Structure 1
Amino acid sequence: MRTIKLQRRLLLIVTAAILPLAVVCGLALDALLKAQRVQTQASILGVARAVATAVDSELRMTIASLQALALTDPLGATTTEGLADAYELAGAIRLSHPEWLDLLLASPDGRVLFSTERGLDLGDVRVIEPGSLQEAVRAREPVIGPMTPGPRGRQAFPVRVPILRDGEVRHVLTAVVEPEAITAVLQRQSAPEGWTVSVFDGRQRRVARNVDDDRMRGNAPSPTLLDLLARLGPRREGVGATTNVEGVRSLTAIARMDTAEWMVVVGASVASSEAASRRLFMAYGGGLLVSLLFGGLAAWWISRGVTRPMALLRTQADAMGRGETLPAQRSGVTEVDAVAEALATASEQRRRSEAERQKLLEAESLARSTAQAAQQRLARLGDVSTVLSQSLEEASTLAAIAQVIVPAIADLCRIDLLDEHGVLQRKLTHHADPARSEFIAKMVNGRSAPSDAPGSFPWAIATGKVFLMNLEGEASIARLEPGLQEFVRMLGLTAGCVVPLVARGRTIGVMAVLQAESQRHFSADDGALIVELAQRVALALDNVRLLQEARSAQLQAEQANRSKDEFLAMLGHELRNPLAPISLALQLIARRDPQAFARERQIIERQVKHLSRLVDDLLDVSRIVAGKIAPKFEPVDLRDVIARALELTLPALQQRERMPRVQMPSTPVPVRGDPLRLAQIVGNLLSNAAKFTAPGDAIRILLATDDTPQGPQAVLRVEDEGIGIAPELLPRVFERFVQGEQALHRAAGGLGLGLPIAQSLARLHGGAITVESKGPGLGTCFELRLPVQAAQDAPAAAADRVAAVTQSLSLLVVDDNRDAAEALASWLEIEGQQVRVATSAEEALERLAEERCDGAIIDIGLPGMSGYELAARLRADAATQSMALVALTGYGREADRQRALEAGFDDHFAKPAQPEILLACLVRVCAQGRGAATIGDKATSPSA
């Protein structure tokens, strides 16, 4: 047997004692590091999943809001009135979503019908990102598009929902959402310090980031992240090492979303995650080095007869190898005692490491279970939002709420809502057993609870607090208010949660979720779930209320609109009736004695024309607002329109010292429009210039063409040197009833309707009017722009001149206004006609029974039998069915004209009408036959 020196033997003993500990600690350290690495990867991936779920939930809520709005009737409309209603409803809904930059409605081909940001009548404006719109039309499902710069350069992403009607996609509703909404979701997730969380859209462009969001928005992923995505392939999640855009090496987790082809990328710095590992390795290496040093010193110091201390050390080392912890025993040898202390310290450190490892494993398990519970809770809330968004009717919404809560969450659900007087009304009492639901509803209806009793509905309304309590015995029940105790005992409740329903900052009711037969209890997570569920329930019920209010407001608006139309029709009738005899009386005076009262007749004629113009403006603006004006488009030379407008405004222009200076091109300026309405536009501009310009100041009319990116346009400028327009009034000159400050005598007159009517008519023709003025006293310039049409051969215009009447007719004038009837009869008699007068329909029938007539001029608003009924009677009688019948009435709407033609009239004229045109119409009808005249004159009636 070979002998070994004691010093070397002791050194070998120390080494043999320390090396197993070092190996065990190394293996334990390696396992701990691997577990820590796996835990870190799982934690990062869990955060990515949670963030993806949160962002997915935010997008689903936006989709749910759009789907709820898409179910409303106005969103499927195609008419102008329907789109206007849809625009108002969309504007109201957008106010409740501040994260929406815009809410627009587009046709399937991409044309924008309206935008809450830019208004209605946008022309041929197209959606900015058509790819997602076409995908929504093709798939008939909601689509979330990529982030795209808007018209002003601001980046946003569209959320598009198709609007289905009759199995077809009629429109696409789009919410333009700002990326900050996604950033807010990231910030609410509270990622660990130093972690970066990013959201990328389907084009792999960064939508939001929890760090340097504004600077990084819109950037592409780093090259290493793109490599990781390529390695992942079609998998929906994964973890790998990357280098982020700041150049920091990171452990990166990727989770893709369900709602859109978006992904969430979470990165944790490798340096920070490896710092603990480095410290642990340094501690381990340092401890091992110190242990070996102390062992060598002890072996060198104890070289003779140290058997007992060595045995003690061996015993202590063996115990440590078994995982036991023994206290260091004093041996009397300092070096051996030092080694013993070192072994005891190492043993204690190992024990602590094992305990810490166990705690870390337990914490990881708890975090995993918490994340899974949160994911399940978010999934359930997402399902709840989907169910609640399927209807906006109160009954179906309450039924959906009951379906969601019972029995998945609780055994019993009850909801009370505040009415308009602030009184709680029973809306829902639901149990899985209908008989028990009815029993509980009857019991609840017969009870009331004080407002200061915690857990009662009045208490929840008054305090706005949540009440959650698990009833685990009589002691917990005894803490309740006596009335609630009886309620709990009768139903056998084991837990309850009472939550106030708050929507948009207003308490609308209370919801109670109760456990009974299942003997379940509520945890803190259950309480959080119920509170979040209550928020969605409150929003759904408030949406129901808003829809009901919107329908009520729409009904009131429709009733008000009908009342307004009826009032304007009656107003036009009552104002036109006295104007007709006045106008006829003036013409009679002029026919009998042209020199008689010439000055006075001119004054009366001007005022009658002024009153007629005011009535026409009132009725025109009503028809324009209601969308009832349908221009009759045809090729028109704008030079002819100016000439006609000058002719119409000649009485006002002749009172000036000099006529307007007109500058027009020598070649035609072709546009497509209604000649009468175009002349009305130009006439309004000329009348406005004549009113507010001194007689000696100049008025200029300039007509030219201009090439624009939209195509060639005709430009008509009406310039004057008049009183000008104040800067604060300039933006409002085209609003109805808006006028500048005038003197008390109101020499200019008018109702402030001429410019609004002209602007509305210009827009109907695809153009617009703009105004410029440097200020009061510096004149005004109005500019009309219309699209130029390709040159065409102008159709031969029908001559509307009134031919001289040489034929003598026997006529009957029927009007309950005796002055008007007699004045018209006198004028016709001067023209050589045989005229009789009747003031009622009954008298007219008597006169016709006595002697037939060639034609009749009949007022509509007759006492007793109306003019419509009289015309129908005359057409039904074989003796009078061939008479020429003309309606002369104060009712001048298009609907009145159509009704008159349907009743049997050959033509319709609004008071006051020119008697020459009336007589010419009667002569033409008698000469050509009633049927031909009716067909030929419906489109050219002067009443139009």
Structure 2
Amino acid sequence: MRIITMQGRLMLIASMAILPLAIVCGLALYALAESQQDQHRASTLGVARAVATAVDSELRLTIAALDALALTEPLGTQAGDGLSQATRLATAVRRSHPEWLALVLAAPDGRLLFNTDGGVSGPLRRVVDDDSLQRVLRTGQPAVGALVPGPAGRLAFAVRVPVIRDGQTLQVLTAVVRPEAITAVLGRQRVPEGWSVSVFDSRERRVARNIDDARLRGSGPSDTLRRLLAQMGDAPDGVGRSTNVDGVRSQTAVARLESAPWFVVLGASADLAESPLRRTYVAYLGGLLFSLAYGALAAWWISRGVTGPMARLRQQADALGRGEPVAVAPSRVPEVDAVADALAAASLQRRRSEAERQQLLEAERAASTAAQAAQQRLARLVSAGAVLSQSLEEDATLRAIAALIVPAVGDLCRIDLLDEHGVLQRKLTHHFDPARTAAIAALVETRAAPADAPGTFPWAVATGRTFLHNIDDQGMPEALDPQLREFVQVFGITAGCIVPLIARGRTIGAMAVLQAESGRRITTEDGALINDLAQRAALALDNVRLFAQARAAQKQAEDANQAKDEFLAMLGHELRNPLAPIALALQLVQRRDPQAFPRERQIIERQVRHLSRMVDDLLDVSRIVSGKIVLRPETLDLRDVVARALELTLPVLQQRPEMPVVRLPAEPVAVHGDPLRLAQVVGNLLNNAAKFTEAGKAIRVVLAVDTAAAHPQAVLQVIDEGIGIAPELLPRVFERFVQGEQPLQRAAGGLGLGLAIAQSLAGLHGGAITVHSAGVGRGSTFELRLPLHALPTATAEAAAPPALPRQALSLIVVDDNQDAADSLASWLELEGHRVRVVYSAEAAMDALAEQPAEGAIVDIGLPGLSGHELATRLRARPATARMALIALTGYGREADRQKALAAGFDDHFAKPAQVEILLARLLALDAGRRAAHGA
């Protein structure tokens, strides 16, 4: 083994100390270089993406302008005045875009219909770039063509959009754009000095370049760039190395456009990027060599001052080994002097070490005992937490606290809690001897503890401090309050700890743990345990309080919800009751004299319908909010829903000079839903459009199918040219009771619930409604989207139900609202039926006992016996058990309907009902009864 001297080792240490630093610096330098390269690549790619975005935006602006022109009315015609108007319009648009060479309109077969650069004189010419034309015809979407030379030899590219009418591409509108437009976009970008940017089309022809554009326009990429593009494949962007057409090695970034199959190539000179890195490497290598040389020289010089004292230290060690006195001489090397001092004090240190070892053994035994005690206390606290979390009832929690403390911790436990008025109330007094518990509780009940005496419950609650004393402490029990002193003497208390109960930063009471018969003392460790138990007990008792409050709040909320439901039911009843006789009276007037007061009757009918709709909206909102609305879904054609909605809103729409324009697809649009509720959704949208669209302005209804979405959807749009929606109102338009600003006379009327109900019902069907508006006075578009559903295959057409025979029935009308009863009876008599009218359930029982009837129309809210009780009694009598019973009431909730059916009614109608439907139901029930009994 080779022997290395101290001097050599010191020089080696210096070298080894420098070497890791040099390696770390080299790695850091390498990482820095890689970071700079990554940053340079990222910045290059970021600039390329920004340029691509700018070029893409320029192309999108051109497409947007062409789309707007393609929507104008003259386009879409093939010849005649329409084509001339289209040519003049295109020429005017062309003058506002100097970057366009011409605007061209082509037929699908490639024939030019007009060209703003040369008109249509002579034989019609064909388009130059047929690929982009075919792409537009194939996809029905805008397309950007490649850079090609025109008839005059000028290079340009085409931006094409389809001219679509009724879903069919009739023509293709093209803007022939100068490549200088793209060059101008490159000129506006902030590209660093010396960087080159090129834009290539789909055929890899150079459309524009920020440097030497005119010379290189139309040329292809360099060979190295072609290889880089081949490596990228279909990736949207990438970074690599290439040599540009000027022969400059470049860091090259490629970014593709979104609106066209073009791409942007950006090149940054590689030499400019690498020159700072080369200078850094040269500086690093020079510094490393200098550091190594300087370290070796310094190590050699310092080692001379260490080897001499080490030799003397060896002599002192030899003397110590021989038992000779050790002469300690300073060496000016602290480490060597320390070794010499250590040799001199070795024996003394040995004796000190033995004494210290004995002390450490004793301290270890004491720490082990304390750790065992702490472990036991922790186990007790864990057990306490588990026990106290088992119940949220106050009595059970107090019993659990007592069981935890007595007798394991103390002989007696007392707890007082503050009530809602801040007064302490006795909650727990527990001793392991029940007789002692009763005696202590009786004494405590007769005494009122002073609030300022230490050791009392009021004092602990007021100060938030703990009182912990043993009776044999100095000054005890003389320092206690006289009442406490008497309590201590009577019951033989030897120690006590009174702690406040604090939960969530709030004092809720106090707890006392006392020692008596056991004679145990309360130590500081016991006090810490009692405080920990008190914290857990306070939290458990506070949880009990919070649980009780939550239960009370829940009960209050349930009562409030029940009161709300009852109020809405009563409101619907009280509002519907007066509407029923009004509606019937109007029908009677029309039946008796159709020419009597036609205008006044129309006004009253409209207001009755308006009020009925507001009542229905209010009750629908209540059902939706409470989750009580019931859907009866089936597979249906959404076209039928639109027809039914138009029929329902016909009274509103007929007030307009023109009906809405309706566009429906030829094929069925199948969805799964409740037909009545879906018709209500569409009807609300139509009502909203009619309400806020002035006469003379159009309303359109468009139904289509969107198959481009992830899941195919039915799309229904209601488009109006009305007052529009302010931007600040758009986010809140589907909230309840939200309406736009209206004039003082509120011509539109309503509660602001129609759109909220429509949105909620659409959500229940798995769909949604969105709204778009360009602002006030610019109309609105409401769009309903619903999931598509497959229509069932029809095996045979459903047979029409047989017509019911029209025969005279003997009927009885029971209603305490005399106007409603009399008007309904008059209407039924005009239909040829024999009708009796009574105004109470008792009168109905007497009348039917005297002469039975074939059917009865009964109100629910009758004085005395209710309609439900009347139906139950009639079903119990043999003479009236099989008569047709119809409930006609102002209570129109689903729960009211189910209650009526359970009471014995055959059907349930809400006021004001359509009497034709009600009578048809009566006839059907009577016919079914006759058929069942062979009558």
Instruction: Place the TM-score, normalised by the shorter chain, in its bin.
Output: 0.5 to 0.7
Within 2, Cα distance between the matches of 1:828 and 1:540? 70
**Following TM superposition, by how much is the alpha carbon of 1:809 offset from its aligned partner in structure 2, in angstroms?**
2.5
Within 1, Cα distance between the matches of 2:741 and 2:359? 83
State, as a whole percentage, how many aligned pairs show the same letter.
69
**Following TM superposition, by how much is the alpha carbon of 1:422 offset from its aligned partner in structure 2, in angstroms?**
1.1
Which deviates more, 882-891 or 847-856?
A: 847-856
| Preserved contact between residue 291 and residue 342 of structure 1 (Cα < 8 Å) | no
**Following TM superposition, by how much is the alpha carbon of 1:398 offset from its aligned partner in structure 2, in angstroms?**
1.2
| Preserved contact between residue 719 and residue 781 of structure 2 (Cα < 8 Å) | yes
Within 2, Cα distance between the matches of 1:365 and 1:773? 83
Partner deviation per Cα, 1:863-907 (whole Å, 9 max, x = no partner): 233333333343333333343322212122223223333333322
| Preserved contact between residue 635 and residue 673 of structure 1 (Cα < 8 Å) | yes
Q: Counterpart amino acid of 2:430?
A: H
Equivalent residue for 1:618?
Answer: 618
**Mapping of 1:350-749 within 5 angstroms?**
350-473=350-473, 475-706=475-706, 711-749=711-749
Query: Do the aligned partners of residues 788 and 439 (structure 1) sit closer, same or farther apart at CA in structure 2, a change above 3 Å counting?
Result: farther
| Preserved contact between residue 906 and residue 930 of structure 1 (Cα < 8 Å) | no
Equivalent residue for 2:857?
Answer: 857
Partner deviation per Cα, 1:416-439 (whole Å, 9 max, x = no partner): 111111111111112222222222
| Preserved contact between residue 326 and residue 344 of structure 2 (Cα < 8 Å) | no
Q: Does 1:754 align with 2:762?
A: no
Partner deviation per Cα, 1:166-225 (whole Å, 9 max, x = no partner): xxxxxxxxxxxxxxxxxxxxxxxxxxxxxxxxxxxxxxxxxxxxxxxxxxxxxxxxxxxx
Equivalent residue for 1:844?
Answer: 844
Equivalent residue for 1:47?
Answer: none
| Preserved contact between residue 814 and residue 837 of structure 2 (Cα < 8 Å) | yes
Q: Counterpart amino acid of 2:576?
A: R
Query: Do the aligned partners of residues 537 and 631 (structure 1) sit closer, same or farther apart at CA in structure 2, a change above 3 Å counting?
Result: same
Structure with greater Cα Rg: 2
**Following TM superposition, by how much is the alpha carbon of 1:301 offset from its aligned partner in structure 2, in angstroms?**
12
**Following TM superposition, by how much is the alpha carbon of 1:566 offset from its aligned partner in structure 2, in angstroms?**
2.0
SS of 1:438's partner is: helix
Q: Counterpart amino acid of 1:569?
A: A
**Following TM superposition, by how much is the alpha carbon of 1:562 offset from its aligned partner in structure 2, in angstroms?**
2.2
Q: Counterpart amino acid of 2:413?
A: C
Within 2, Cα distance between the matches of 1:523 and 1:383? 22
SS of 1:377's partner is: helix
Which deviates more, 484-493 or 785-794?
A: 785-794
Q: Counterpart amino acid of 2:764?
A: L
Number of aligned positions between the proteins: 612
**Following TM superposition, by how much is the alpha carbon of 1:291 offset from its aligned partner in structure 2, in angstroms?**
5.7
SS of 2:712's partner is: strand
**Following TM superposition, by how much is the alpha carbon of 1:582 offset from its aligned partner in structure 2, in angstroms?**
0.5
Query: Do the aligned partners of residues 718 and 379 (structure 1) sit closer, same or farther apart at CA in structure 2, a change above 3 Å counting?
Result: farther
**Following TM superposition, by how much is the alpha carbon of 1:577 offset from its aligned partner in structure 2, in angstroms?**
1.0
Which deviates more, 894-903 or 383-392?
A: 894-903
Within 2, Cα distance between the matches of 1:366 and 1:287? 47
Partner deviation per Cα, 1:693-741 (whole Å, 9 max, x = no partner): 3334444434344468974333333344444445554444444334444
Within 1, Cα distance between the matches of 2:344 and 2:501? 63
**Following TM superposition, by how much is the alpha carbon of 1:600 offset from its aligned partner in structure 2, in angstroms?**
1.3
Within 1, Cα distance between the matches of 2:865 and 2:559? 28
Within 2, Cα distance between the matches of 1:483 and 1:295? 78
Within 2, Cα distance between the matches of 1:300 and 1:757? 107
Q: Counterpart amino acid of 2:531?
A: V
| Preserved contact between residue 841 and residue 870 of structure 1 (Cα < 8 Å) | yes
**Mapping of 1:761-910 within 5 angstroms?**
761-773=761-773, 775-793=775-793, 806-849=806-849, 851-910=851-910
**Following TM superposition, by how much is the alpha carbon of 1:644 offset from its aligned partner in structure 2, in angstroms?**
1.2
Partner deviation per Cα, 1:319-358 (whole Å, 9 max, x = no partner): xxxxxxxxxxxxxxxxxxxxx9999855543343334444
Query: Do the aligned partners of residues 392 and 292 (structure 1) sit closer, same or farther apart at CA in structure 2, a change above 3 Å counting?
Result: same
Query: Do the aligned partners of residues 473 and 504 (structure 1) sit closer, same or farther apart at CA in structure 2, a change above 3 Å counting?
Result: closer
Q: Counterpart amino acid of 1:682?
A: V
Query: Do the aligned partners of residues 351 and 916 (structure 1) sit closer, same or farther apart at CA in structure 2, a change above 3 Å counting?
Result: same
| Preserved contact between residue 636 and residue 794 of structure 1 (Cα < 8 Å) | no
Which deviates more, 398-407 or 618-627?
A: 618-627
Query: Do the aligned partners of residues 798 and 484 (structure 1) sit closer, same or farther apart at CA in structure 2, a change above 3 Å counting?
Result: farther
Within 1, Cα distance between the matches of 2:705 and 2:420? 60
Within 2, Cα distance between the matches of 1:837 and 1:300? 139
Query: Do the aligned partners of residues 536 and 789 (structure 1) sit closer, same or farther apart at CA in structure 2, a change above 3 Å counting?
Result: farther
**Following TM superposition, by how much is the alpha carbon of 1:605 offset from its aligned partner in structure 2, in angstroms?**
0.7
**Following TM superposition, by how much is the alpha carbon of 1:609 offset from its aligned partner in structure 2, in angstroms?**
0.7
Q: Counterpart amino acid of 1:891?
A: Y
SS of 2:410's partner is: coil
Query: Do the aligned partners of residues 372 and 741 (structure 1) sit closer, same or farther apart at CA in structure 2, a change above 3 Å counting?
Result: farther
Query: Do the aligned partners of residues 855 and 370 (structure 1) sit closer, same or farther apart at CA in structure 2, a change above 3 Å counting?
Result: same
| Preserved contact between residue 770 and residue 784 of structure 2 (Cα < 8 Å) | yes
Q: Counterpart amino acid of 1:687?
A: N
| Preserved contact between residue 804 and residue 923 of structure 2 (Cα < 8 Å) | no
Partner deviation per Cα, 1:83-112 (whole Å, 9 max, x = no partner): xxxxxxxxxxxxxxxxxxxxxxxxxxxxxx
Query: Do the aligned partners of residues 539 and 678 (structure 1) sit closer, same or farther apart at CA in structure 2, a change above 3 Å counting?
Result: same
**Following TM superposition, by how much is the alpha carbon of 1:363 offset from its aligned partner in structure 2, in angstroms?**
4.5
Q: Counterpart amino acid of 1:429?
A: T
Within 2, Cα distance between the matches of 1:506 and 1:580? 60
Equivalent residue for 1:72?
Answer: none
Query: Do the aligned partners of residues 347 and 874 (structure 1) sit closer, same or farther apart at CA in structure 2, a change above 3 Å counting?
Result: closer
Within 1, Cα distance between the matches of 2:606 and 2:800? 24
Query: Do the aligned partners of residues 901 and 441 (structure 1) sit closer, same or farther apart at CA in structure 2, a change above 3 Å counting?
Result: same
**Following TM superposition, by how much is the alpha carbon of 1:580 offset from its aligned partner in structure 2, in angstroms?**
0.7
Q: Counterpart amino acid of 1:866?
A: S
Query: Do the aligned partners of residues 776 and 430 (structure 1) sit closer, same or farther apart at CA in structure 2, a change above 3 Å counting?
Result: farther
Within 2, Cα distance between the matches of 1:906 and 1:558? 32
Equivalent residue for 2:66?
Answer: none
SS of 1:807's partner is: coil
Equivalent residue for 1:84?
Answer: none
SS of 2:476's partner is: helix
SS of 1:477's partner is: coil
Which deviates more, 789-798 or 436-445?
A: 789-798
Within 2, Cα distance between the matches of 1:555 and 1:576? 31
Within 1, Cα distance between the matches of 2:421 and 2:894? 46
Q: Counterpart amino acid of 2:393?
A: E
Query: Do the aligned partners of residues 879 and 344 (structure 1) sit closer, same or farther apart at CA in structure 2, a change above 3 Å counting?
Result: closer
**Following TM superposition, by how much is the alpha carbon of 1:556 offset from its aligned partner in structure 2, in angstroms?**
1.8
Within 2, Cα distance between the matches of 1:412 and 1:455? 15
| Preserved contact between residue 700 and residue 719 of structure 1 (Cα < 8 Å) | yes
Within 2, Cα distance between the matches of 1:846 and 1:379? 80
**Mapping of 1:231-270 within 5 angstroms?**
none
Within 2, Cα distance between the matches of 1:287 and 1:439? 89
Within 1, Cα distance between the matches of 2:438 and 2:643? 81
Partner deviation per Cα, 1:5-57 (whole Å, 9 max, x = no partner): xxxxxxxxxxxxxxxxxxxxxxxxxxxxxxxxxxxxxxxxxxxxxxxxxxxxx
**Following TM superposition, by how much is the alpha carbon of 1:584 offset from its aligned partner in structure 2, in angstroms?**
0.9
Q: Counterpart amino acid of 2:533?
A: L
Partner deviation per Cα, 1:666-699 (whole Å, 9 max, x = no partner): 3222222211112112222222233233334444
